[in-house]
Structure 1
Amino acid sequence: MSELDRHDTIRAVHWRGDRLSLLDQRRLPFEETFIDCRSAAEVAQAIKDLVVRGAPAIGIAAAWGVVLAAQNDPLALDQATRTLRASRPTAVNLMWALDRMQGIGSDAAALVREAQAIQDEDLAANRRMGELGAALLDGGGVLTHCNTGSLATAGFGTALGVIRSGYAAGKISQVYAGETRPWLQGARLTMYELVRDAIPAKLIADSAAAHLMRSGAVQWVIVGADRIAANGDTANKIGTYQLAIAARHHGLKFMVVAPSSTVDMATVDGSAIDIELRDPQELLGIGGRRTVVDGAQAWNPVFDVTPASLIDAIVTERGVIHHPDRHAMQALFAPGHG
């Protein structure tokens, strides 16, 4: 087993021939339970309910949802695709994967091959991004936000893939993970991955990030992305924007790691990104138990946009963009490039 493989032991999306088996991420870290989806509608509901989450994993699951629709009722394929598109609006990987599947037609065997290719290509891209991102590191500690690892992808991860590669190469001594309210993806999922794969990690409250930065314990903030606009503005889990502001103030570097499928050159800038608002009830309790007084209201955006001017590097499998702007994005992601 290689050093990289030693720190990459989790897979969350499994195609079983007649069903899609998804590791239920709502139950982690205490229960490793898989949910079987046998229709596109069940896949769409699993995406909406956060059984599966993370932009690349959502796209992969949706691709297999199209396969299930073709197997069950090819005449209803268009409706199934529309249902899958509506499950989560912000992650562009979902739309990208469904567009790619629609280009194949309705032949179930061809759709299986395409969905498998999407999944395999994502894993290869993650390994490549890990290599490219780790090359930018020069030792010390890193801070990450939300979950960008094997649970959010085909495997290895985007931002967490860079962390896996960086640790294996001796370029990271300590990882800090923000808890990521309200669904606690950092606390429940990222810490689960890091501990399981024997990478030194400490959990912090989201509100402790600036204090941590001032202490000198971290040199990089490394995050994923759900959509990257044509000018480099990046939508990611709520709380990312304030980390970028704090990192700039404290002289830390800020890295975004995402596959090229996350880049949306049709979206001019971050102001045009649709930010998903979820049920306010998610903020009013923890684990199904209410923690806020009856009658209280809440506002629950689950993504925010970090301006390109606060990002030091965007890492994709196609290459690294330092200090991203419209011209640099165009050079790497214009139609026909790469």
Structure 2
Amino acid sequence: MRIVDQRALPEDHVTRDLDTAEQMVEAIRTLQVRGAPLIGIAAAMGLVAGLRELRAAPREPFLTRLDALAAQLGATRPTAVNLRWALDRMVSVAHATSGDGGVVWERIQAEAAAIWEEDRAMCRRIGECGLALLPDGAKVLTHCNAGALATGGIGTALAPIYLAHDAGRQLHVFVGESRPVLQGSRLTAWELTHAGIPCTVIADAAAGALMRAAQVDLVLVGADRIARNG
């Protein structure tokens, strides 16, 4: 598993190869990997990697180890919704699959790949749904990081921005610095700059003044949870 160590951005682009579930536990815990969708994908992949050496094991020892690794991965970021969701899905599929360790491992490997592909497709769909909100010349305010660095695709809240840019629309994005971890100034600004999308990093406290000056047409942000009434 190859990840971008997000702690090093924007000064350095550092990739790391992870071979074990324990390495993925550390990567998630220390924010080398972050963003709710990406954490879920990474945990699923970490579970697969952690069980690779047990493919020849009988069913029960394999499942016992799977449950233990899932618990370790799940404890890294207890508030990350996608983390628990992805691990529960992987564990459920494993226990519902008949056969020994090798058969179950093949099944969870396919499930992890499906979780990644579903997220990629959802990101694209979010972008398509939000594209109508971004006319040519739109000035957008965003906060934190909900782009490709946080997902398995082109992002959630940033997806419409990427598709609008690809469609030739001229946009300008104001990026809140997002204290205390500075995901906006470190990550979102890095993403947008590398994509060729004009952006300006602002202090979080400046957002209100920017809106009051009519410099913001819309705000796009990511969220871990959405209320039923929107």
8 Å Cα contact 1:28/1:189 also seen in 2: yes
Instruction: List 4+ stretches of structure 1 deviating above 4 A.
Output: none
For 2:118 and 2:170, the matched residues in 1 are separated by 26
Same amino acid, percent of matched pairs: 49
Q: Which has the higher strand share?
A: 1
Aligned residue number for residue 93 of structure 2: 104
Amino acid in the other structure paired with 1:119 = W
Q: Report if aligned partners of 2:66, 2:91 keep a CA contact under 8 Å in 1.
A: no
Provide TM-score, normalisation by structure 2: 0.87
What is the match of residue 22 of structure 1? 3
What is the TM-score with the length of structure 1 in the denominator? 0.60
The aligned runs of 1:126-165 (5 Å cut-off) are 126-139=123-136, 140-165=138-163
Matches within 5 A, 1:1-338: 20-73=1-54, 74=62, 75-105=64-94, 107-139=104-136, 140-170=138-168, 173-229=171-227, 231-232=228-229, 324=230
CA RMSD of aligned residues (A): 1.5
Q: Which amino acid counterpart does residue 219 of structure 1 have in structure 2?
A: D
Q: CA deviation at 1:170?
A: 4.9
**Which residue does 2:58 correspond to in 1?**
none
- 1:219-240 Cα deviation digits (max 9, x unpaired): 11100112334x35xxxxxxxx
What amino acid is aligned across from residue 132 of structure 2 in structure 1? A
Q: Deviations over 1:161-195 (max 9, x none)?
A: 12112333355521110011111111111111100
Instruction: Give the match for residue 262 of structure 1.
Output: none
Query: Where does structure 1 lack aligned partners over 5 or more consecutive residues?
Result: 1-19, 233-323, 325-338
Which is bigger in relative contact order (C-alpha 8 A, separation at least 6)? 2
Q: Corresponding residue for 1:12? A: none
Q: What is the total number of aligned residue pairs between the two structures? A: 213
**How far apart in 2 are the matches of 1:52 and 1:203?**
22
Q: Distance in 2 between matches of 1:217 and 1:126?
A: 27
Amino acid at match of 2:78: P
